[in-house]
Homo-oligomer: A and B are copies of this chain.
Amino acid sequence: MQQRISLITLGVDDIETMSRFYTEVFGWMPLRQSTDQIKFFQLNGVKLALFDRDALAEDADIPAEGSGFRSFSLAYNLGSKEQVDVCFEELISRGARIVKQPEMVYWGGYRGYIADPEGNLWELAWNPYLNDD
């Protein structure tokens, strides 16, 4: 198994609202393969998909019930603390919800968190120890 991933799929309750968030707040362009049922965004290598959460659970034949913390976060790394601040402010000004204001962290980095309309966590971070590709 190669060290790669093709797709991250977020199970969503309201695909229209979520799709609008990723296109208008993040400013991302959906792939032409997107439909009303599924939205794809081509990222760096990996794709992000938005798909109905009940349908996603059904696809895997598992119960759709779930609540609280989803035990994952997505991160968008930037080249400096200043870039984190600028990106954070820009996303907030476009309607992203603040989860945590950027601040220095004990391990030597700098990060803040925003959430998409359904609470998926995005960390905006400067990490001097982890090269971004």
Contact = CB atoms under 8 A, between A and B. Distances in A.
Contact of A99 (B61, B67, B87): B61
Nearest to A49: B75
- Copies of this chain in its oligomeric complex: 2
Interface of A: 1, 3-12, 26-29, 33, 40-48, 53, 56-57, 59-77, 87, 90-91, 99-100, 105, 111, 113, 118, 120-121, 123, 125, 129-130, 132-133
Contacts of A61: 99-100, 113
Nearest to A28: B3
Contacts of A4: 43-44, 76
A3 B71 contact: no
Contacts of A47: 130
6 contacts: A4-B76, A6-B75, A11-B71, A56-B72, A59-B111, A62-B121
